[in-house]
Structure 1
Amino acid sequence: EEKAKKELLKSLSDLQKQQESRHEEMTSANRQLKMEREVHQQELADLRSELQNVKIKHEQNVQELMKLLKQEKDDAEAQIRMLKMELLEEKNVVKTQCRQLEKMKVECDKLTEELTQNEEENIKLKRKCELVKQELEKKEKQISNEEDHLRKMSEARLQFKDQLRHLEMEQQSILSMIGSEIDAACEIFSRDSMEKFKVILT
């Protein structure tokens, strides 16, 4: 019985030691778990704080971006309005220049018509001069054998020559005047047309 009692006490002591050892292990494990939980909670808190900061930064970036986009939109709309106004002004300038060009074209056509008429008049003058020359030659032949008649016909010849010279001078004066007017009109028309077209092209 004494031996069985000792063995029982020894077994009980071993169980107590095992229990104490397990208790210490559990205490140590609980302490470790508590420490890990605190670390995890701190990490979670840090992550939440970082996430909040990221959200705030993101919101700020979004606000800045929206502000920038609004400014760019306002600038673009202002630029579009200005371009529309410039386009309208340019169209008005083009219309005015087209009317001026049309007016100049009409004036040029009128000058061309006058030139044609003057050329026709010039042809008539040439024909008249030719007739005078022919008449003069005829008169010269008629007075070739008559002295008395020769004097009279000589006077007539001088008169016809004077008329012919006068007609030729008148013809030359008219042609010179017409040429000067046409040259001046064409130069003005050419210079104005080039300036207008340069303005339109630019």
Structure 2
Amino acid sequence: MRIANKTMVITIALLLSLTGCSNFGVEGDVQADHQEVSSMVAAAEEYDLSALALELPANWELDTEDPMNYLLKNDRGERVGRISSSPYVADFEFKHALPNHSSVINDETINLPAGVCRLITLDADNGPAASGATGTHNTYYGIVTIKNKVIYILEFTNLDKDPQSKQQFIDLLKKISLKEPVS
């Protein structure tokens, strides 16, 4: 939803700037508006995941249909995670609303080849009572900081509490990098 709002703001600002509606014919304001729109477009592009390089396990898929949120699908085609990004800021604070009926059971820092990762483990409810699902599972968040470049935010779950799932996620995190720029 937040991305859709940013897209709408950029679109409206661009339309107003290009049509001159927001500046009432004052030429200096047009130039300022164009610069502001260019800055907004550049900021939106920083959230693009196209620079992400990630080696997936055999028969896994990365659904890249949405350029702002990639979906991880396992070898059975099931969604097991999501990837988004944020522009790099040195004092980045992960402000993600926890899913209902979940709690943080571990918050640690691990070093990866690409950078530093904050790894958060949640104990999450398996579903609403009406679903008949009982118990809990672990959901993992990896906040990977590639210094002076980008911050990748990954969410992952196998809907279990198996320590191998956490290791599988860490192995995936270790394979994150940036694509080399095409020249």
More strand by share: 2
Report the TM-score, using the length of structure 1 for normalisation.
0.24
Report the TM-score, using the length of structure 2 for normalisation.
0.26
More helix by share: 1
In terms of Rg, which structure is larger? Answer: 1
